[in-house]
Amino acid sequence: MVELKIRYISKEIEKLRYIDGISDWIDLRSAEDVTLKAGESKLIRLGIAVELPVGYEAHIVPRSSTFRNFGIIQTNHMGVVDHSYCGDEDEWKMPVLAVRDTEIHVNDRICQFRIMENQPKLTFTEVEHLRETSRGGFGTTGVQ
């Protein structure tokens, strides 16, 4: 089991919960009330700072209902937090763009995260040819 050290910057948000057997994504909540007009953007405070273990990173993405419920999209599509972003004031935030007028309240579940091991070290070997396939190019299964 991997230990995450959490500092709650906001005392108003619910504590993080790992729900074993249901999902390995952990919900994150807005730590502030936010009112946005269509076309406005904001970094929404998530009210936590996390000390990730060395060799891990966190991936932050919207919940599947975030767009429907709040009319916002995450502007960086997926946030990546590495283990070096671990200080008391390194609060996690979600950059959003509103596509309609909306209100988000403290404790609204707006995104989720999971931790992943860092990518292993890679080497790149230049070759003249790769193995042959009959897929036919980008986005195809080979069926024409």
Positions marked active-site:
82
**Contact between 76 and 60 (Cβ < 8 Å):** no
- Backbone torsions φ then ψ of 70, nearest 5 degrees: -125, -10
First-last CA distance in the chain: 47
> Measuring CA to CA, how many Å separate 95 from each of 47, 77, 110?
14, 9, 11
